[in-house]
Structure 1
Amino acid sequence: MREGLVPAVLGTAVTASGVFLKEKLPAVGWGVVGFGLAHVVLGAIDLVEHRRSTH
């Protein structure tokens, strides 16, 4: 499995959960969205770096 794929996929799931949570608890929901987006970005960085090191 490609390095960085797991954090990117889990970050997407956490971001989606935060979007749904925003309706009931806005402050917590935005925090969860931010946490998920951070994981998506870090996973994407790993994917790009891993691609560069193999080619």
Structure 2
Amino acid sequence: MLPREGLIPTVLGTAVTTAGLALRKANPVIGWGVAGFGLAHILLGAIDLMEHPPE
């Protein structure tokens, strides 16, 4: 069974967002940038999940 389309970007976006928030103490600019990329992946993955319902 293959994972639903959009699930992998959503999960990876969650991991990247968490990493970005953890980086804020070391370098706030880079931390927020990485967190922003992660949030974008979560949003795009969620859109894919809504566009392609399970069969």
TM-score of the superposed pair, with normalisation by structure 1: 0.92
Match of 1:36 in 2: 38
Consecutive unaligned residues of structure 2, counting only runs of 5 or more, are none
CA RMSD of aligned residues (A): 1.2
Match of 1:3 in 2: 5
- TM superposition shift of 1:4: 0.1
TM-score of the superposed pair, with normalisation by structure 2: 0.92
Per-residue CA deviation, residues 2-41 of structure 1 (Å, 9 max, x unaligned), is 0000000000000000000001100000000000000000
Q: In structure 2, how many angstroms separate the alpha carbons of the residues matched to 1:3 and 1:22?
A: 31
Which structure carries more helix by proportion? 1
Give structure 1 regions of 4+ aligned residues with deviation exceeding 3 angstroms.
none
Q: Which amino acid aligns with 1:6?
A: I
Consecutive unaligned residues of structure 1, counting only runs of 5 or more, are none
- TM superposition shift of 1:51: 1.2
Instruction: State, as a whole percentage, how many aligned pairs show the same letter.
Output: 62
